[in-house]
Amino acid sequence: MHLLLLALVDGLRLQTRRRAVLGALAAQLSTSTTSLATGVDRVPQTADLVCVTALPNGAVFDASSSHAAAGNCQRKARTDASRTQVYAADAHFRSSSTPLTTLTADFVVPPLPAGYNPLDPHMIYFWPGLKSNQPEMCWFTNRSSCAVLQPVLQFGLNGRSWSLQSWFIDGGHPTAPAVTVPAIEAQPGDRMTSYVGLSADGSTWTVSGTNKRTGADSTLHVVGSSVSYEYAMLVNEQVNVGARCERLPTWPQGGRMGFRFTNVTVNGEQKPAWTTRAKCAGNELCDCDNAATVSGNGDVTLSWRSHT
């Protein structure tokens, strides 16, 4: 293939990826219209302020500074009011007395979704994380609840592929900017381990995910954050999937699938009292027979049916 054609193809791919990333972040950090009856958030036609700071792997971000991310904001007009973003299924635990300081979880990268359209991209996230004061997505009207530390297994941000990337959403800042480090490759079947934790002296948060096959990691350190974290969460988050269940990870033969978090600990303890929920179960906007279950050994499984 000629170099010119290669350049054109690369340019188109880059534009598509940029649109997908900005669209996902805009959905995460924008205003929303929420249906209390359905529990699904629709992203309205609006102009969204998307603020992202990308740092080298292993970097330390100082949240007490004037905030570097504030200079990296882009306003992006969203024109598709039909897109949905939702915690399709999750398990969450609230500590009523002891501050949350650590969360660990292992998981295996699932198969690729059968359905993917680069002209109408969708995103799938599986993540363990700590959230500030409610186990919900954050929007313009509740910026203080945006704070989250999360190593995210993500599909759709780089085409039809999986990657793992560590993120910090700073709910202590007016624009609730996102801070991240480079993603690492993840192939179906790869075993991943993740860690979110506060240093012994209480000064530094670490968000990290590691691919056990390659040894590569995505690690972010955060200092100077005044946010406290009340919720530990294990989440399947979806953007623009809706009820098109073929857009979810699927076995070749179809049928029911599950994403299992194993070796889960919260503050060093196993088997916390998880609250499970599946917002999409029975919801015509995103129903893929979703479920969240906790096994006797403390594993948490978020499941769905990829073909209905």
**Token pair in block for residue 286:** 């995103």
Which pLDDT tens digit goes with each residue over 48-61?
556 788 999 999 99
Residue type present at position 136: E
What does residue 256 show for φ and ψ, rounded to 5 degrees? -80, 145
Look up residue 208 and give its two tokens: 């990290």
The whole-chain average pLDDT of the chain stands at: 81
Please name the amino acid found at residue 178: A
Beta bridge partners of 198: 205
79-84-87 Cα angle (round to 5): 145
33 lies in which domain range? 3-305
In terms of phi and psi (left: phi > 0; alpha: psi -120 to 50; beta: otherwise), the region of 187 is beta
What tens digit of pLDDT does each residue of 98-125 get? 889 999 999 999 999 988 999 999 999 9
Nearest to 242 by CA among 43, 103, 60: 43
Average pLDDT score over residue span 146-175: 89
Number of domains in the chain: 1
**pTM for the whole structure:** 0.84
* DSSP, residue by residue, 171-202: TTSTT--EEE---EEE-TT-EEEEEEEE-TTS
CATH of the domain at 266: 2.60.120
- pLDDT on residue 270: 92
3-state helix, strand, coil in the chain (%, to 5): 15, 45, 45
Judged by phi (left if over 0) then psi (alpha if -120 to 50, else beta), residue 296 lies in: alpha
Query: Are the C-beta atoms of 249 and 189 separated by less than 8 Å?
Result: no
% of the chain beyond a pLDDT of 90: 60
Distance (Å, whole) CA 220 – CA 213: 20
Query: What integer pLDDT is reported at residue 5 of this predicted model?
Result: 32
